[in-house]
Structures are given as C-alpha cells and as structure tokens.
Amino acid sequence: MQPKSFALVHTLLFTVLFHRPLLCRLLAGKAAPHSSAKNEWSSDSLELVQLLFRHGDRSPTHAYPYDIHTEDEWPQGFGQLTTRGMYQEYSMGQFLHERYVRTKFLHSSYKRAEVYVRSTNIDRTLMSAYSVLAGLFPPDSTQEWSQTLNWQPIPVHAVPVNEDYLFFTETNCPNWDELRSKFLESDPFYLDTLKKNQDLIDLISQNAPGVERSWDGLEEVLDPLFCQNEHNMILPAWSQKGDNWRRLLHLMNVSAIIKYPQPIARLRGGYLIYQLAQNIKDKLRGISTIDKIKGKAIHEGNMSADKMYIFSAHDSTINALLQTLKIFNDINPPYSALFMMELHRDSSMQSGHYVQMFYRNDSSKPPYSLQLPDCDFKCPVDKFMQLVENMDVEPSKLQAACGISDMGIGGSQSISSKFISNILIAIAVLISLLILVTVIIVISRWMFKRKNKDFNYKQVPLDLEEEEQGL
C-alpha cells in the first residue's frame, strides 16, 4: 500500500531533519503564510471576482527512461485530464455556484456580459474549464435545450501557448532562465537541499539510465511517479526502499519553492498581477463589457466581464502568482487549487473599496483567507494598488524584461510581430503581383501597336517608273 494518506505528515517529519526554516512555514498548515483566521464573508458588498484555478487530476506529462509504465496505460495518453479530474473540477464549479450564484451575486442563469472565461490552450485546462462551468452554471428553465442533459455550452477563450505570457509560465523568456540559474547557483536553501539529497539523485540515475544526475533529473521522475501513485499503480522498487518515497514527496514541495524564487518571481507572475489590477481599475471606473467592446478600456487586454473572470491554468501559474505576491505557502498547489480575488465596496473606507483574497486547496475545508504583507485582510483598494505596483510587469515592458525581440502577447488587442510579418509579406506579394500585371499589360500594348504598324505599312515607290508599273 502506498503511503499516500500520510504524505503531509511525512513531509513535516522530513523537514524536521533536513530543513527547519521550511518547517516553520509548513506548520502553519495548508494556508498561506499570511492567512488569517478571520474568514467572514458576504456577497452583499461584492462587485468583482477573479478566479484562478489549477486543472484537475491528470496523467503524467511524460515517461522517464526505464519507466515501468507506458503511455498506453493511460486512457487518453500523457498530460490529459482524467475522469477523477473532471469530477474535481465539476465539484469546484458547484462550490462556486453556492458561493456566487446562490447568494445572488451572479444571475441564476448564465449571462455573457457577467462572466469571461479563459484557459491556457492545453487539453487538460480547457476540459477543466468546461467541467467547472458545468457545475457553476447548470441551465435554468430558460436555457434548457435537452431533456436528458443538464448542461449548456459556455465559451472558453484561449490563445496559442507560445504567445500566452499571461498564464503559461513556460513561454520563451531567456532573461528569466539566466536569472534563475544564477540565483540557484548561490541560494543556500537550494544548495543545501541538493547536497542532502545527492544520494537520492544518484539512486535515480542508477535505476533510470539516461536521467541526468542532477536536480533536473530528479524533477524528471517526480511527476510520473506522483501520478502513478495517485492511481495506485505499481511503483519501482527503488522508490519504496527505506524513506525514499517520503523524501520524494517532500522534494515535490521543494521543487515548487525553487521554481519561482521570490527575488525574481515577478518576471513570471508580474504580468498576471498587472492584468488582475487592471480589471479592478476598469470596474472602479465603471467600464462595462459594452464599453470594452467599443474600445474604451484603459488597458490593452480584450477581456471583458462585468462581474467575474475565470482563469483555468496550472500549478505553476498559481505558484508564480503567489510567490510574486509574497503569500506562497511553500506547498505545491494541488489539483483543483483555487485562488480568489474579490473587490468589495465599503463606504466607511476612504477609498470606498477593499480587496480580499482567498485560497482553496482543500475541498473539505472553507477557503483560507490570504493577506498581503503590509496590508489588512480587507486591503483598501488604493493600498492594494500601491503594493502590487511594485510586483506587476506591464505587457509593454515584458518583452524587454524577457530579453526577446519577437513577442506576441496573447489576449491583447496589440498586433503581434508574427501577425505584422504576415501582413507585410501579404502586402509585398500583392505589390509584386501588381507590378507583374502592369509589366505584362505594358508589353502587350507595345506588341499590339507594333503589329498594327507592320500591318498598315506600304512601301513608297523609288521613282516614277516603278509607280507606273504598279498602275
């Protein structure tokens, strides 16, 4: 039997021996470091909600060398949402229905102007978004179209992965790769963890020839092993010897910690923070969905919702966001982890509004409340904007920050470089065709005139005798 149910306990025991600073943070439970015991909540003052969640349970994204399991053992192949994952996301949708529809913040039936949904362009996140929406918006009597199917189609938007700098944290960003490598080279926590687990890294390399004898090699086997364990599949014998499995579970959280180190996390999470803040600014300025369609929004994004934004993404997306906000709890976001940012009105505050944040990473408990450093749980919106201004990255500055010359930022009304290139190529081809047609016409007319001239030519007689003979 796999030690799945004791994963958190094992992690805590391991940190006692190997990393006491991390233990202090983990002992706070599953909530973030700045979580609050105050979990009062009301929809009466609610004006805007922004949700970011991880997809549900999935198959591994890959196999490692000498993996005892193959892709064929997963019904839909690698990296796909499982039926368990679909249920997890559907259940989350039901939770959101109770929180926002039953309390009458959202209309009882789906309204396009109220809600905007976006996902990364990956199968599992798209399917997760549809599963959440099925639980959030079951059709009412006015929207039923089938007597046997309690479901209605709701649009989910996406952009190409290589242009999705908003939610997909693996997009091209050379400066990020360089900064992270340099940071880890001198980070005491990373170096100490690497040293204490070198024997495990060596063991993996010995049992899976072809896997790098490095931290990257360790991470290469973590995902397949975790997914296999979640589905009660047989694990390799070496992973079950001694305390190896406990150590591997612990290192999954360590991997999450060092994935987006605090000093440089902004380069991966800052653009999303910028977008969340701009959506709040639009709401405060009274810019509606119709206004955005007419181009009156104050930012580049073409997102449009009067009450709720729903974003379906990955653990890495939540990780980067929470790290940048400085409220990460050092535990990898589990399947269906949900981050909630809410804008409330409060006339007693000078700013008139405040921002609340919640994190739901345990479906058996109410969401944990999150608190930004240097701000109250009910963070006045002006103070909130002041704090996140030091964390966000505007899309116009992201290209330079990443150190690349060609970036088409998805979800923006700005035209991408690739699109501009295609337009220029099309124009060049059109001009070439026009020139060619013009040349053909000119040559044709010249040849036609020459032919007519030859046809009408009559030789002038050289003398009178020739003229008489001709008569």
Task: Report how far residue 137's alpha carbon sits from residue 158's, in angstroms, rounded to the nearest whole number.
Answer: 20
In the predicted model, is pLDDT for residue 411 greater than 70? no
Strand partners, 58: 81
Give the chain's end-to-end CA distance (angstroms, integer). Answer: 123
Q: Which residues contact 438 (CB under 8 A, 6 or more apart)?
A: none
Domain layout of the chain by residue ranges: 31-187+261-388, 422-455
25 — pLDDT class (breaks 50, 70, 90): very low
Q: Is the pLDDT of residue 414 over 60?
A: no
Per-residue pLDDT at 452: 63
pLDDT at 465 over 50: yes
The reported pLDDT for the residue numbered 35 is 52
Instruction: Specify the pLDDT at position 303.
Output: 76
Confidence of residue 419 (pLDDT cuts 50, 70, 90): low
pLDDT of residue 450 exceeding 90, the answer is: no
Across the chain, what does the average pLDDT equal?
Answer: 86
Q: Is the pLDDT of residue 19 over 80?
A: no
Tell me if 368 sits within 8 A of 343, measured CB to CB.
Answer: no
pLDDT > 90? residue 131: yes
> What is the sign of the dihedral through the CA atoms of 248, 250, 256 and 261?
negative
Number of Cβ atoms within 10 Å of the Cβ of 5: 8
Q: Considering just the CA atoms, what is the radius of gyration of the chain in Å?
A: 31
pTM listed for this prediction: 0.79
Report how far apart, in Å, the C-alpha atoms of 254 and of each of 47, 189, 227, 237, 257 are.
Answer: 37, 9, 18, 23, 5
| pLDDT > 70 in the chain, percent | 80
Lowest mean pLDDT among 213-227, 244-258, 424-438: 424-438
Stretch among 1-5, 246-250, 314-318, 407-411 having the lowest mean pLDDT:
1-5
Whether 159 shows a pLDDT value over 50: the answer reads yes
Catalytically active residues are: 55, 315
Please say if the pLDDT value at position 120 is more than 90. yes
User: Which pLDDT score is estimated for 30?
Assistant: 43
Quickly state the pLDDT bin for 337 (edges 50, 70, 90).
very high
What per-residue confidence (pLDDT) applies to 445?
Answer: 81
Q: Check pLDDT > 70 for residue 425.
A: yes
Residue 464 pLDDT more than 80? no
Place of tokens 């969340």: 276
On the question of pLDDT at 453 being above 70, the answer is: no
Burial of 279 (0-12, 13-18, 19+ CB in 10 A): buried
As a CATH number, domain 31-187+261-388 is 3.40.50.1240
Q: Which one is predicted more confidently, 231 or 292? A: 231
SS3 letters across the chain: CCCHHHHHHHHHHHHHHHCHHHHHHHCCCCCCCCCECCCCCCCCCEEEEEEEEECCCECCCCCCCCCCCCHHHCCCCCCCECHHHHHHHHHHHHHHHHHHHCCCCCCCCCCCCCEEEEECCCHHHHHHHHHHHHHHCCCCCCCCCCCCCCCCCCCCECCCHHHCCCCCCCCCCHHHHHHHHHHHHHCHHHHHHHHHCHHHHHHHHHHCCCCCCCHHHHHHHHHHHHHHHHCCCCCCHHHHCCCHHHHHHHHHHHHHHHHCCHHHCHHHHHHHHHHHHHHHHHHHCCCCHHHHHCCCCCCCECCCCCCEEEEEECHHHHHHHHHHHCCCCCCCCCCCCEEEEEEEECCCCCCCEEEEEEEECCCCCCCEEECCCCCCCCEEHHHHHHHHCCCCCCHHHHHHHHCCCCCCCCCECCCCHHHHHHHHHHHHHHHHHHHHHHHHHHHHHHHHHHHHHHHCCCCCCCCHHHHHHHC
Q: Is the pLDDT of residue 278 over 60?
A: yes
Condensed to tens digits (0 to 9), the pLDDT of residues 179-215 reads 999 999 999 999 999 999 999 999 999 999 999 999 9
Nearest to 261 by CA among 317, 183, 334, 332: 183
Per-residue pLDDT reduced to its tens digit, 340-397: 999 999 999 999 999 999 999 999 999 999 999 999 999 999 999 999 999 999 988 9
> What is the structure's pLDDT at 466?
52
Mean pLDDT of 60-73: 97
**Region 33-42 average pLDDT:** 57
Given a cut of 50, is residue 259 above it in pLDDT?
yes
User: Hey, how many other C-beta atoms are within 10 angstroms of the C-beta on 179?
Assistant: 16
Query: Residue 447: is its pLDDT beyond 90?
Result: no
Mean pLDDT confidence for 299-316: 84
